Amino acid sequence: MKFGRMVRRTWNLWKTRRFYATVPGFLLVFWDKVLSAKPLWPLPGRGWVYHLRLAGDSRPFSLRCGTSDLIVLLELLANGEYAPAIERLSGDCRTVVDLGANAGFSLRLWAKSFPECLIYAAELDAENAVACRKNLELAGISSRVALAEVCLVGKKRPVFIDRSGGNCGLRATDAAVGGRAITGTTMEEFLESSGVPEEIDLLKCDIEGGESEIFKNCSGWINRCRVIVVETHAPYSADELLRDIDSAGGIICKFKRYGKSIEQYQLVMVELGGRSGRGLGGAAPLAGTGSAHEPSGGGGDHSLPKSPGAAPAL
């Protein structure tokens, strides 16, 4: 039974080989997957840094073997995790704010999708920041990205970093876990210190549960955004996110749940009115229908009803 499962997995991986530019690159991916699947086995190569070129892309990516780097890269580029937001903006994007830059794969995606945009990114881990800067350098986009090593919180206070989730699952916590406490940075402080323009075309947030306190304290900046994409992590839900935005005075026009819809996390895209009123008039309307009270995990797009002098009902 185990042998048969191994053969099927190997065959399924072999069918993806055309996604990689070279056969040696595919073999590196294969070994990276083995190391990730067997974290306790004393196998060679764990921690090595290798370069991987994807088909159709002349510039390689830098990955840390045996970490979550490969999984994150494939989610973004092979599975098109952020494709709905990219399509929604239709190339009309000048400013991107990326909360949770990790190894920089999402930053490269924004730079390629929106050739004129400037990117302002936050990453709390020093090792991830080193990997991120390397990927920016390989892509030749370092001059377009301002990367800040900060831990974002809703209210400024000392916090600890919980590293139990690996390099893509780092999160801030008030519990005294390993290491010393650091001072968290609020969104207002980050936006000001990074010199982010008043209007934010796209805000992406994937900070492993930290989104709950960020959006519970978003009244000072939420209407600067046109489109936000948030990965919510249990127990914080997509419905709570929408209620927090609404309570903060966010002008919600439409929202859409998409991507993997499981108990642990869910992707949510929200279109906002913004202060400038520029909106997304040039973009095609969101397709599909749905109810604003659709249970978590449902798909579809939603136009929220508006009433004069009141926030959209959720």
Q: Does 56 share its domain with 84?
A: no
Within 10 angstroms of residue 61's Cβ, the number of other Cβ atoms is: 23
Which pLDDT score is estimated for 312?
A: 34
Same domain, 119 and 177: yes
- With beta carbons less than 8 A apart as the criterion, state whether 36 and 68 touch: yes
Q: What tens digit of pLDDT does each residue of 68-115 get?
A: 899 899 888 878 889 989 999 987 899 999 999 999 999 999 999 999
| Three-class DSSP labels, the chain | CHHHHHHHHHHHHHCCHHHECCHHHHHHHHHHHHHHHCCCCCCCCCCCEEEECECCCCCCEEEECCCCHHHHHHHHHHCCCCHHHHHHHCCCCCEEEEECCCCCHHHHHHHHHCCCCEEEEECCCHHHHHHHHHHHHHHCCHHHEEEECCCECCCCCEEEEECCCCCCCCEEECCCCCCCCEECECHHHHHHHCCCCCCEEEEEECCCCCHHHHHCCCCCCHHHEEEEEEEEECCCCHHHHHHHHHHCCCCEEEEEEEEEECCCEEEEEEEECCCCCCCCCCCCCCCCCCCCCCCCCCCCEEECCCECCECCCC
Same domain as 201, residue 147? yes
Percent of the residues in the chain that have a pLDDT greater than 70, as a whole number: 79
The residue out of 66, 89, 104 marking a domain boundary is 66
Per residue in 48-61, pLDDT (tens digit) is 999 999 988 889 99
What are 163's two structure tokens?
């590293």
Reported as a pLDDT band with limits 50, 70 and 90, residue 195 is very high
CA distance 60 to 21: 10
Place of tokens 């840094």: 49
CATH of the domain at 97: 3.40.50.150
Q: 100 with 55, same domain?
A: no
Q: pLDDT tens across 219-259, in order? A: 999 999 999 999 988 888 889 999 999 999 998 988 888 76
What dihedral do alpha carbons 23, 28, 31, 33 form, nearest 10°?
A: -100
Domain count, the chain: 2
Please state the rounded mean pLDDT for residues 294-301. Answer: 38
Give yes or no: residues 10 and 149 share one domain: no
pLDDT above 80 for 179: no
Q: What is the mean pLDDT of residues 127-147?
A: 96
249 shares a domain with 194: yes
In a domain, 33, yes or no: yes
Average predicted confidence (pLDDT) for the chain: 81
Angle between helical axes of 126-139 and 105-113 (0-180°, round to 10): 30
Q: What is the pLDDT of residues 182-191, one digit of tens each?
A: 788 999 999 9
User: Rounded to an integer, what distance in angstroms lies between the CA atom of residue 197 and that of residue 62?
Assistant: 30
Q: Has residue 313 been placed in a domain? A: no
Determine whether 5 is exposed, middle or buried from the number of CB atoms within 10 Å of its CB (0-12, 13-18, 19+). Answer: exposed
Render pLDDT for 257-287 as a digit per residue (tens, 0 to 9): 876 555 567 888 999 986 544 555 443 333 3
Question: Is residue 74 one of the residues assigned to a domain?
Answer: no
Provide CB contacts within 8 A for 49, sequence distance 6+: 62, 63, 64, 65, 131, 134
Looking at residue 229, its amino acid is V
Quote the crossing angle between the two packed helices 2-14 and 23-37, to the nearest 10°.
Answer: 140
- β-pairing, 265-272 vs 301-303, is unpaired
Structure tokens at 176: 């005294």
Q: Is residue 166 part of a domain?
A: yes
CB-CB contact of 121 with 94 (8 Å) = no
**103 occurs within a structural domain:** yes
| Same-domain check for residues 295 and 189 | yes
Dihedral pair phi/psi, residue 55, rounded to 5° = -60, 130
**Residue of 271, 233, 229, 19 lying closest to 106 (CA atoms):** 229
Q: How confident is the model at residue 301 (pLDDT cuts 50, 70, 90)?
A: very low
Distance CA(183)–CA(42), nearest Å, equals 37
Residue the block writes with tokens 């990997």:
131
**Domain, as residue range, for 143:** 80-303
Percentage of the chain beyond pLDDT 90 is: 42
Q: Does residue 298 register a pLDDT over 50?
A: no
56 occurs within a structural domain: yes
Position 140 in a domain: yes
- 311 inside domain: no
20 shares its domain with 139: no
